[in-house]
Structure 1
Amino acid sequence: MFLTRIRIEEPSAQEWPLTMAPVRQLAAEGLRFVRPVTFLVGENGSGKSTLIVAIADACKINSQGGKAGTRYASTGETTPLGEALRTDLTKEGIRLLTGPRRKRKGFFLRAETLFNLAQNVSGSYGFWEENLEEQSHGEGFLTVLDAMFDEPGLYLMDEPEAALSFGSCLRLVALLDRLAKTGGQVVCATHSPLLTALPGARILELDDHGFTPTEWQDLPLVDHWRRYLADPHSYLRRLIDP
């Protein structure tokens, strides 16, 4: 483990996103990371991505996506929550995230900005050789995952399933499992029932009340997917005119 806890000191309750319920709970209680893989799950707008981006800021990883310790990773701008967030790192975490630049091991895969990142770093030292513009969306994601998630480090992900097929999501589950078993740490915001089924992962459900540890089988998204696949019409009849 590299990141053991995040917290907020002296929060301003008047400024978004510090007014969001999960952030208010974070300010009151802090959040401990107790397992190698942590999933943040919730509806759109619940605060998943906001929290992941703030963690990236606080850990000096480009909040637009990218690698710790590179010039591209230093934008000079942080989010309000990123400025307020404080991190508790292990000795190894401090070494990996704040040590010599080329030895830092942290990466943020942010689905919505990945291909903008690729235009800046593809072919550069420490990244991937392939030109993502010559690959499909999903192939590009897998290229980045294979190249950047290859050894122990702190890895942040925001909806990595966005471009992946069912089979590719299963491949990502295997990668997450391998990282967890070889000393890596992952914090991932997701809507995927496939990814969150990873054995041994901790799941935090974000909603209007804050964040709550939960089990995979108790997640609303798992229940909805099960019922939809069993009987799509029971959902669609409310949305589609006959």
Structure 2
Amino acid sequence: MPVPEIAQAATVASWAPTEMRSRRQLLNMEPGRTGVRYAGRMLIERVRVKPSAVEDGAWPWTVPAIGDLAAHGVRLNSSIVILVGANGSGKSTLLEAIAEGYGLDVRGGHGGRKYASELDMSPLGEAITLDRTGAGSRMIGRNAKGFYLRAETAFGMLAFMTEAGMPGYGDRLSSEVSHGESYLQAITGRFSGPGLYLLDEAEGPLSFESTLQLLYRLQDLVTEHNAQVIYATHSPMVAALPGAQILEMTDQGITERKWAELESVALWKRFLGRPDMFFDDAS
């Protein structure tokens, strides 16, 4: 029995359009070009930590990947960066700190927006330094263009903005479509123009097909604008985005990987090939 290839549909083409595709079209797609890079459109090229801000024995420096970041920093080489790792590996902690360092409110939403109450910065957010490209250096403070999406709070945030009548939100949420469809319409509607787009497990409420539509939109975003995407996920499907730099966060630190080298990819291949092997025999 052949093992299904998780990434086949996700690697269809480096310039995939965003129109909806039918299930039949998705199943008949052929893998396209890989190895595409978008480095000319980057905003952040390195993430590092001020040594004086590190407190030995305290969180988050005790998290191996965050400790590795503090010791060595990490260089970004694509405008699509995927952070992968198990729960507790530091993915969300790092993404939140990047949002703080860049100027995006950690509650989610657009950059350059003032809230009635300010939040204290996280320990990593206070310590982090972002080495920006020329384009990125022009997006500071009120000019910090971009969007920060946290899956666990996104729908509540979008619903609040709908009720408040904020332009660009209220026209995208509807009770006439499913939760996942409404969520996809709302978030992809906010992905436009140059800026830094941070996504934390954004695929959570989405089906296979809807996740593909999200990934196509992200591809269009970085090819049409001076935009950079940093996406924290468990999903091998998301990690299969062509041209993405994959950074795996483990007990060994932060390591750049190829998609086929990821442990999650190997596990999903085994599960999809023989799901019965993962369950006790109930007979």
Structure 1 residues 52 and 73, CA, compared in 2 at 3 Å: closer, same or farther?
Answer: farther
Equivalents in 2 of 1:241, 1:78: separation in Å? 50
Instruction: Pick 1 or 2: higher relative contact order, CA cutoff 8 A, min separation 6.
Output: 2
Partner of 2:128: 85
Question: Higher mean Cα deviation, 142-151 or 191-200?
Answer: 142-151
Partner of 1:172: 214
Partner of 2:19: none
Q: Which whole-Å deviations, capped at 9, do the CAs of 1:82-130 have from their partners, x for residues lacking one?
A: 11111112232132243xx3x54210011011123224433314x4223
Task: Give yes or no for contact 2:103–2:144 (8 Å, CA) kept in 1.
Answer: no
SS in 1 for 2:94: helix
Larger radius of gyration: 2
Task: Give yes or no for contact 1:66–1:73 (8 Å, CA) kept in 2.
Answer: no
Task: Give yes or no for contact 1:157–1:187 (8 Å, CA) kept in 2.
Answer: yes
Equivalents in 2 of 1:151, 1:232: separation in Å? 42
RMSD (Å), alpha carbons: 1.9
Equivalents in 2 of 1:97, 1:142: separation in Å? 28
Q: Which amino acid aligns with 1:174?
A: Y
Question: Higher mean Cα deviation, 83-92 or 161-170?
Answer: 83-92
Partner of 2:193: 151
2:152 aligns with one of 112, 123, 136: 112
Percent identity (aligned): 42
SS in 2 for 1:143: helix
1:3 aligns with one of 6, 21, 44: 44
Partner of 2:97: 54
SS in 1 for 2:236: coil
Structure 1 residues 235 and 151, CA, compared in 2 at 3 Å: closer, same or farther?
Answer: same
Equivalents in 1 of 2:145, 2:237: separation in Å? 26
Task: Give yes or no for contact 2:81–2:246 (8 Å, CA) kept in 1.
Answer: yes
Task: Give yes or no for contact 1:38–1:201 (8 Å, CA) kept in 2.
Answer: yes
Shift of 1:174: 0.9
Shift of 1:181: 1.6
Q: Which amino acid aligns with 1:199?
A: P
Equivalents in 2 of 1:128, 1:49: separation in Å? 25
Aligned residues: 236
1:163 to 2:205 alignment: yes
Shift of 1:132: 3.5
Task: Give yes or no for contact 1:38–1:187 (8 Å, CA) kept in 2.
Answer: yes
1:96 to 2:142 alignment: no
What's the TM-score, normalizing by structure 2?
A: 0.78
Equivalents in 2 of 1:110, 1:119: separation in Å? 14
Q: Which amino acid aligns with 2:153?
A: T
Q: Which runs of 5+ in 2 are unaligned?
A: 1-41
SS in 1 for 2:203: helix
Partner of 2:65: 22
Q: How does 1:222-241 map to 2 (within 5 A)?
A: 222-237=265-280
What's the TM-score, normalizing by structure 1?
A: 0.90
- Kindly indicate which of the two structures has a greater share of residues assigned to helix: 1
Equivalents in 1 of 2:187, 2:172: separation in Å? 14
Structure 1 residues 201 and 73, CA, compared in 2 at 3 Å: closer, same or farther?
Answer: farther
Equivalents in 1 of 2:229, 2:270: separation in Å? 29
